[in-house]
Structure 1
Amino acid sequence: MDSLQEPRVALQTPSFSQEQADAQLRANEVTRQMSGLSIGHYDRTTLPSNSVMEDAYSEAIVEMPDGRKVGFWGIYDGHIGPAMSAALSRSLANSVALELGKAYASEILPPFETIAQALKNGFLAVDDHLVWDRRESLLEHAPQSSSITADPLSLPAAQFLKEAFTGSSALLSVYDSRTRMFYVALAGDSRAVLGRRHEPGSWTATVLTLDQYGSNPGEEARIRSEHPGEQDVLKNKRLLGSLEPTRSFGDLYYKWTDAMQDKVRECFLNDGKLGRQLAPNATPPYLTAEPLVTSVHIQPERGDFVVMASDGLWELLSNEEVVGLVGRWVDEQKSIGTEDGKKGWKRYISSVKSTVVGGNPTGQKKPQHSGSPIHPDDRFVLEDTNAATHLLRNALGGQLHDGEMVRAMLTLSPPLSRRYRDDLTIMVIFFDEGQGSIKK
């Protein structure tokens, strides 16, 4: 993906009017109240870049055995197709809820370690079912040789394993409204960031996740320790020189042995093709769906909000820019800090203090425009009543060139669009019940 500041020739002649651009930006936006959860509301939007969008999402409120309400928000960033991300949107929150139900049934106030293990168990149960259990089920019906074509599973084998053939990151957040604890589980490279008011017109950004990819020193150390002697286990900062995220659902190519992949080719796939051929799998599995889990105590009185998004957003905006943009949006719609707002976007962005929960931000992905001389006051704009759409518009260029950059980015169709942006899914969860939509 190229920098927003260096567009290619394809971006020079936008065909969208401002009205058409606004309609497309707002087409998928949603604002919802979460009844019984003691939060303000949350905003969501999506924008596809692939011909079939590979992102998916989920949200739910679940009542635990002791009667408490727990909120779930999930973003699933798929690759090699949408099958796994779609499956996670249907099943992951349910799997985690079952595990959390066990924890809450046994303890009134489960410690962090218990909640974290429940989240990990829920993640691994889904991946085990779709990748490992289905493999075993398929092998139970394996014919003795490839010449046997009457077996009922011979033709639909690829369909039976469609989720395992593809892959997906998963970012799942859980809010316990009784304790005000917010838990975040990540397997992959999406991100969650907490915004909290520091003082009038100033916010702090607390990163609740660490990007799990080859440039993360912790992930690199983990993978190399699990596969000693394999120099190319990470090549060009990618797993086996190919996959960027170092934790993921599905992706059987990095989990099954070569012999297992060959057996499936021989027995079930008439054309003899299982998919991409990678470097020899010397010591699989190379991938895990086990998430890293963090938590934070929510303080609604300090205007807390959480932004969750697939990596497409973080390739375009920094943590500080995201929190500053939403913070300014909040101040504007509350008619508080209006005079501060007149001082411009730079004040909001530059005043954001940034920290990381549970780790060092070394290796975190940086936005494409990092180091750009463009002034925030020349780029950012506030025009939308939905905070997620507000972030989307500014990620695509805001008011650069009088909005022409946004219109140009929206006119691009696949596969050209993938050279400039990924699929985008954005959620903004507000915990201050007084926060509403901005007044235009």
Structure 2
Amino acid sequence: MASHGFIRRRPRLVAVTRLHYQPLPRPRFSTTETRKTSSPSAVGTGAVSFAAGLAAGWALYRNGKSDKRVASLETPLTTIITPDLNYLGTSNQIAYTNPPTLEDVTQKLNEHKFTVRGSPGGIDRYDGAQLASNSPCEDAFVHGSFSNPFGAGDEDSKWMAWAVFDGHCGWQLSNLLKTQLMPFVRRSLSGVKPTDKSEVSEEAVQRALKHSFTALDDALVKSATAIIESDLPFAVKARQLEPALTGDCRAVLGQKAADGKWLTTALSEDCTGATPSEIARIKAQFPDEPDVVQGGRVWGLQPTRTFGDGMWKWTAALKKNLRYHFNGLSLPSQTRYKNYKDGPYVTAEPLVTTTQIPDPKEGRPSFLILATDGLWDTMSSEQAVDLVGKWYDRQQKGAVVQPEKRTEDFGPVVLGWKQQCKYEERKATFRDDNAAVHLVRNGLGGADEEMVRGSLAFRYPNSRDIRDDITVQVVFFGPVQ
């Protein structure tokens, strides 16, 4: 970094752009030492650059009584009022920013919460919340209703949709999917026709959903060569090649059994390099590449079914072109993985399941939890269902949701590589009126308020070592107080 100081002595102007010796008239430079001056008209500036975890430039101008001329610059400046630095005080103590208070914690957890009631299809209520760790947050979400894709137009026939998107290595694609995925889904579903006069089969709906995902991903990934070879301006090409990566989400269903217990049903399978079925699928696809899956990752990538991730789908020649001319990522490559070839090694084709929701009128309420891996890093599916189930039961009994008075000492807070944020049943708390916020709080420490405060005291990028972005939606298929 270059530091700039400007000195003017009758009538000479000298611009110092580097800190080196020049045979100039000798002005007095201010340093950290106190120096006496023999002339009341001395004029001086100081310029210092240093690095101590960051780069900084510093300059000081001192004006004497009999010489009030100032430096003139060759480039014009916007006129502003000179800031008064006296308000900073004269202390030799560092003033650190304060960590969040308990009130700050509650405000932060509720900052992006929402509750929607009375939705089409008999959805009584659904809650949502988001807590960022990255800056900006790499998660995104969407929720709402859309017209029946098979033609019926009455209110009761409307469909509902919820989605969460977990971006990795950036927020670009998750934000793009927020607006682009549903149009692809609707278009694909509208093309489904029943084989006879009966309703459209579940198999046809699942095929349409798979097609919508892969069609969108093809538009993102397979269009790269066409974009590069087009006549578009460079800036437009760079922006269209930018959307990158998503993955790592899960959906689970909680159902109340006849005995009052809450049962957990997985609605999605974690598609990662640690999932046995995914390992078998990929190794069967690439039998001549025995190292394709190592340490729970596919050539270093954890998710195995993702949008984007072109670096695991493009040929080596295309990746080299993108790297050299459009600042593309350099990994994975044969430099790091000697047996790496061209793939494509991951896919956007989803695993689709259909699950019958029990009728709430039969006394078997149920709910859906949809969340990014920021939540699942802190708790299991069963723990999440248990937390929401107990929260639901309290709501139905009209119990006031409020902080619980605990006397238990949970011990010292440890957050780092030794221990990241996690849920512990003994620390469960029920103080939030939003089910999604309830899950987020308990994932960060629950009733252990000092752990929750500690988890929010870390800011990006240090926060990424203990917690990920968390996005949660909880949908209730039954009455909620």
Give yes or no for TM over 0.5.
Answer: yes
The aligned residue for residue 245 of structure 2 is 167
Q: CA deviation at 1:368?
A: 7.0
* Among candidates 112, 119, 124, match of residue 28 of structure 1: 112
Q: 1:36 to 1:105 in 2, by over 3 A?
A: farther
Q: 1:156 to 1:103 in 2, by over 3 A?
A: closer
The aligned residue for residue 81 of structure 2 is none
**Higher-Rg member (1/2):** 2
* Among candidates 314, 324, 333, match of residue 279 of structure 1: 333
The aligned residue for residue 395 of structure 1 is 443
Distance 1:289 1:26 in 2: 33
The aligned residue for residue 420 of structure 1 is 466
Structure 1 stretch displaced more, 281-290 or 87-96: 281-290
Task: Kindly report which structure 2 residues correspond to 1:41-440, keeping only aligned pairs within 5 A, or say none.
Answer: 41-64=125-148, 65-67=151-153, 68-103=157-192, 108-141=198-231, 152-163=232-243, 166-169=244-247, 189-199=248-258, 201-240=260-299, 242-265=300-323, 268-269=325-326, 273-280=327-334, 281-301=340-360, 302-335=364-397, 376=425, 378-400=426-448, 403-432=449-478, 434-436=479-481
- Unpaired segments of 5 or more residues in structure 1? 1-12, 142-151, 170-188, 345-366
CA deviation string 1:328-355 (max 9, x = no partner): 11111111799xxx9x9xxxxxxxxxxx
Distance 1:137 1:214 in 2: 31
Q: Could you tell me the TM-score, scaled by structure 1's length?
A: 0.76
Q: CA deviation at 1:239?
A: 1.1
CA deviation string 1:293-347 (max 9, x = no partner): 0011111421110000001111111112111111111111111799xxx9x9xxx
Q: CA deviation at 1:134?
A: 4.2
Q: 1:411 to 1:38 in 2, by over 3 A?
A: same
CA deviation string 1:232-289 (max 9, x = no partner): 211222111x2110111111111110111223445x43xxx42223223513211110
Q: CA deviation at 1:108?
A: 4.8
Distance 1:105 1:274 in 2: 44
Contact 2:120/2:160 (<8 A) preserved: no
Q: 1:22 to 1:168 in 2, by over 3 A?
A: same
Distance 2:465 2:242 in 1: 26
Distance 2:256 2:136 in 1: 38
Distance 1:95 1:156 in 2: 23
Q: 1:135 to 1:72 in 2, by over 3 A?
A: farther
Contact 1:54/1:82 (<8 A) preserved: yes
Equivalent residue letter for 1:115? V
Contact 1:191/1:210 (<8 A) preserved: yes
Distance 1:25 1:417 in 2: 15
Q: 1:24 to 1:337 in 2, by over 3 A?
A: closer
CA deviation string 1:208-227 (max 9, x = no partner): 11101011010001111111
Q: CA deviation at 1:34?
A: 4.8
CA deviation string 1:17-73 (max 9, x = no partner): 211111111111100125332111110000000121110011121112223211111
Q: Could you tell me the TM-score, scaled by structure 2's length?
A: 0.69
Root mean square deviation, CA, Å: 2.5
Contact 1:201/1:328 (<8 A) preserved: no
